[in-house]
Structure 1
Amino acid sequence: MPTQEQMKSALQAYVDGFNSGDPAAVTALFADDAVVVDPVGNPPMEGRAAIDEFYGNAVAAGAKLSLDAPIRGSHGDRAAMAFSVNMPGMRIRVIDVMTFNDDGKIVRMEAHWGLDDIEQ
């Protein structure tokens, strides 16, 4: 099982990768067979090609992330973070819950946000 330190470090690296405009740094945190659900309720994106495309587009759109609270661990294989996605003219308040494999790679990302969480 991944350690708290591994999971929290990975989530900080996720934020840092976004904010430095480096989608490859973000996608490197994911296992090749990972699943991304953003937002929860949308169909899942599965596998390396879909994840590379999703994060490439998000970073290219100019998204910057700011933590709203410290990154949280768990007694299991999940960690979560509350943050805001800041883009020109818009902010989305999000909670991401990530599930990790034994190697410390993200195998599932679930983004929790709804229409009420978007500020124009």
Structure 2
Amino acid sequence: MPTQDHMKQALQTYVDAFNAGDAQAIVALYAADAVVEDPVGNPPITGHAAIGEFYTNAIAGGAKLSLDAPIRGSHGDRAAMAFTVDIPGMKIRAIDVMTFDSDGKITRMDAHWGPDDIET
């Protein structure tokens, strides 16, 4: 099982890579068969190619991330972060929960946000 430090660092790397416009660095954090559900309730995105396309599009749309609180670990294989997505013309307040495998790669990302979490 990955350590809390590893999981927290992976999430910080995720934020930093996103803000640097580096979709491939984000994809490298994921296992090859990882699943992204953003937001929870949307059809899952599976695998490096689809996940890469998802992040490339989000970055191209001008989105930037800022943490609202420290990244949180767990006693298990998950870590979470509360953050704001600043997109030109709107903000989305979200909590992402990432599940990790024994190699320290993200196997699942669940983004928790809904209509009430969007500001225009």
Q: TM-score range by the shorter chain?
A: over 0.9
Is 1:11 paired with 2:11?
yes
SS in structure 2 of the partner of residue 21 of structure 1: coil
SS in structure 2 of the partner of residue 35 of structure 1: strand
Q: TM-score, normalised by structure 2?
A: 0.98
Is 1:40 paired with 2:72?
no
Alignment partner, residue 97 of structure 1: 97
SS in structure 1 of the partner of residue 35 of structure 2: strand
1:48-92 Cα offsets, whole Å, 9 max, x none, are: 111011011011111100000000000000000000000111100
Deviation at 1:25, TM superposition (A): 1.1
1:27-47 Cα offsets, whole Å, 9 max, x none, are: 110010000000001111111
Trace 1:1-120 onto structure 2 (pairs within 5 A).
1-120=1-120
Q: CA RMSD in A?
A: 0.5
In structure 2, the gaps of 5 or more residues are none
SS in structure 1 of the partner of residue 57 of structure 2: helix
Return the alpha-carbon distance in structure 2 between the equivalents of residues 74 and 91 of structure 1.
27
In structure 1, the gaps of 5 or more residues are none
Return the alpha-carbon distance in structure 2 between the equivalents of residues 22 and 14 of structure 1.
9
Q: Which portions of structure 1, spanning 4 or more consecutive aligned residues, are displaced by more than 3 angstroms? A: none
Return the alpha-carbon distance in structure 2 between the equivalents of residues 68 and 86 of structure 1.
12
Return the alpha-carbon distance in structure 1 between the equivalents of residues 119 and 110 of structure 2.
20
Return the alpha-carbon distance in structure 1 between the equivalents of residues 15 and 94 of structure 2.
13
Over the matched positions of the two proteins, sequence identity in percent amounts to 74
Return the alpha-carbon distance in structure 2 between the equivalents of residues 26 and 34 of structure 1.
12
Letter in 2 for 1:19: N
